[in-house]
Amino acid sequence: MFSILSNSWALLLGMLLLMLGNGLHGTLLGVRGDIEGFSTLEMSLIMSAYFVGFLGASRFVPEMIRRVGHVRVFAALGSFISAVLIIFPLLTDSIIWIIGRAVLGFCFCGVYLVAESWLNNDASNENRGKALSLYMIVQMAGIVAGQGILVLADPSGYVLFIVISILVSVSFAPILLSINPTPAFERTKPMNLPQLIETSPLGCVGMFLLGGVFSIQFGMAAIFGVEAKLSVGQISSFIAAFYVGAMLLQYPIGWLSDRMDRRVLIAIVSALAAISASFGTIGWDSFLLLLTVAFFVGGMTNPLYSLLIAHTNDFLDFDDMVAASGGLLFIHGFGAISGPLIVGWMISQFGPLGFFLVIISLMGGLSLYALFRMTQRTAIAVEDTGTYAAVTPGASPVALGIAQEYAIDVASEDEEK
């Protein structure tokens, strides 16, 4: 771990500052949108637009990197992020915000692609798993800490937007001043989607449903907080609880994943997420209960991302794993785009309860489908399954590639023993 820190401390510091800004800006927009009088439908479109941009970047940014290089793409996208963040309080129009969120999604995904390429270049076969874990912890910690900044200034003013812009701008300095040359960026052609669905129906269905849940947590939790009449401080704590749960429960679930039938674990974890969310429907007026619900919903749903990838890998040859990750990311992205739109409509119809009703439906559906798939295919022996590599649902294709490479390395070592 020390060698990783010594080689990548600047990158990790920069990503921490970047995630402070990214974690704060979505929450701030949710609160500010209510102040500006945007409807729930408008806010759902604004939040969904981020994932449209994110999905688009995963396709187009690799070509940009090949044409002009990592550093230029990194600096250009960073400049756009800082500029767009300042535009939000200047032009309080829903159409402008939708476009701005799409641009931010595109730029943040592009920045992650470049940063994770440098991380992968600094990592070796021996420490790739630890590097990925440390990177994930830094990302989660940045999002959680970012929520605390929300209470430091009035969300109806300019200060918080300026703070986010400063954080993002400063985050690039340690990275750009310390990076080493990187190898040429190579993009693996994604696996054919019908082939991927046939290979792992549960992995694909789960990724789509989980995409919706992740975007609901990341984009619509602040909207729920506003509709539930929570204070700004309560909203920031509520959102932070999702990611604290994700950090603390990721590794226990990963440990179980390598020791039992993953379909059983997917069914159990999904059911627990649905059950946890159901408590939100009966007591969302109790803030302490809300924090507990958010902790367990985040703690159950975020590890499912890595769990579904590991399950899919169990049915793939090593040569197909990286290609499959591109298809899974694509499916997850479409689910993420639809999540805020569905929740926005549900909140408009049922009030704050709609937020939890959608999570219950998606996670309950995944649990039932996992149980159904257990009747359709014989379980793989635990000793024949691949390893679980922790990665966040907001990861770029490069982070998924690192996770897949780590899984392949571990599996190859096991075969040689």
User: For residue 147, which amino acid is it?
Assistant: Q
Judge whether 314 and 199 are in contact, CB under 8 Å. no
Task: Report the CATH number that the domain containing residue 21 is assigned in CATH.
Answer: 1.20.1250.20
Element (H, E) at 375: none
Banded model confidence at residue 173, pLDDT cuts 50, 70, 90: confident
Token pair of 234 as six digits: 């309560």
* C-alpha distance across the termini of the chain, in Å: 25
One DSSP character per residue, 201-234 reads HHHHHHHHHHHHHHHIIIIIHHHHHHHTT--HHH
Percent of the chain with pLDDT over 70: 86
Helices (H), 287-386: 287-313, 318-350, 353-374
Based on the structure, what is the number of domains in the chain?
1
CA gap 133, 393 in Å, rounded: 13
Residue 413 confidence (pLDDT) = 63
- What average pLDDT does the structure give for the chain? 85
* C-beta separation of 281 from 368 below 8 A: no
| Residue 320 clears pLDDT 80, i.e. is over it | no
Please give the average per-residue pLDDT across 342-366, as a whole number.
Answer: 95
Residue 127 has pLDDT above 70, yes or no: no
User: Which segment of 104-108, 116-120, 413-417 scores lowest on mean pLDDT?
Assistant: 413-417
- Residue 293 is part of which domain span? 2-416
pLDDT, tens only, 5-17 = 566 677 788 888 8
Across 84-94, b (16+ Cβ under 10 Å) vs e yields bbeebbeeeeb
pTM across the whole model: 0.89
The percentage of residues in the chain with a pLDDT greater than 90, rounded to a whole number, is 43
